[in-house]
Amino acid sequence: MNRRGTVLAVCLVMMVALSGCSRSEPRSAPPSSAGPSTTRTPTPTPPVNTPTAEGPSEAYRSYTTKCDWMWPGGGAACTVAHQNPVPPLSGVTSIAAGQHSGFNRLTFVFDHAVPGYDVRFVRELLDGGRGVPIPLEGAGGVLQIRFDGARANAVTAQPPGTVGLSRIRSFAKGEDFEGIVRYGVGLNGPVGADEHVRVRVAEGQRADGGYVVVVDVEG
């Protein structure tokens, strides 16, 4: 190889080396701009058997819905059995009626325990002693509330015969004999209105020790 060829070869080697050095190093991925992850604190679950916003406002030790907005007609009923030792019979101490948003409420308070009960629509409220109908104001039907293993001879407060709420129009006792207590509620509305009225029934124990059966009537 002559001198000129040698010089050209050396230049070529240097150009290749410089080309390799000029290559840029691979860039690393940019750091994430997201801050540290945060964990939401879960919303605590309401305790079981506690009255909801629609439930009673008084303090309760326990409160359980037994029949949730059902139609107790056409052979159906809200029936709950309690096998309480007797004596004594559970005595009704007071009955209250009240107006709420979207429903009327009847609250039965007992001194001993929650008795068995049956809530259903009937054609009429019958007098347990004579077997004759008891007149109730309200053309929208009759809701009967029956308690088994109860007595009602010491009631200190109860609704008047004419209640006058949006749905519950009238109220009367039909029977208190040998552990059976029955009440009837006359409903406001046109004839046959009870075919579309639902009820909700709950039971529980108040903080003061009283036992309750709560009957909500839609409307």
Ranges of each domain in the chain: 60-218
CA distance 125 to 142: 7
Q: What gap in Å lies between CA 116 and CA 16, rounded to an integer?
A: 101
Q: What is the tens place of the pLDDT at every residue in 96-117?
A: 999 999 999 999 999 999 999 9
The model's pLDDT over 26-50, given as tens digits with 9 standing for 90+, comes to 444 444 444 444 445 444 444 334 3
Residue 20 binned pLDDT confidence (cut-offs 50, 70, 90): very low
Mean pLDDT of 121-139: 96
> What count of other Cβ atoms lies within 10 Å of the Cβ of residue 206?
17
> Residue 23: what pLDDT?
44
Question: What pLDDT score was predicted for residue 56?
Answer: 56
Cis preceding-peptide flag for 88 (omega within 30 of 0): yes
- Kindly report the CATH class assigned to 60-218: mainly beta
CB 101 within 8 Å of CB 149: no
Cβ atoms of residues 124 and 142 within 8 Å: yes
Q: Is the pLDDT of residue 3 over 60?
A: no
Q: Please report how many Cα atoms fall inside a 13 Å half-sphere around the Cα of residue 7, on the Cβ side.
A: 3
For the cut 70, the answer to whether the pLDDT of residue 130 exceeds it is yes
Region 157-176 average pLDDT: 97
- What does the pLDDT look like over 172-195, one tens digit per residue? 999 999 999 999 999 999 998 899
Confidence of residue 55 (pLDDT cuts 50, 70, 90): low
Residue 123 confidence (pLDDT) above 90? yes
Q: What is the pLDDT of residue 58?
A: 61
Rounded to whole angstroms, the Cα distance separating 163 from 8 reads 118
pLDDT of residue 156: 95
Measured CA to CA, the distance from residue 56 to residue 11 in angstroms comes to 98
Q: Would you state the pLDDT for residue 57?
A: 54
Over range 151-177, report the average pLDDT. Answer: 96
Cβ(116)–Cβ(148) below 8 Å: yes
Which residues, in sequence order, are bridge partners of residue 168? 187
Mean of all residue pLDDT scores within the chain: 83
pLDDT tier at 14, thresholds 50, 70, 90: very low
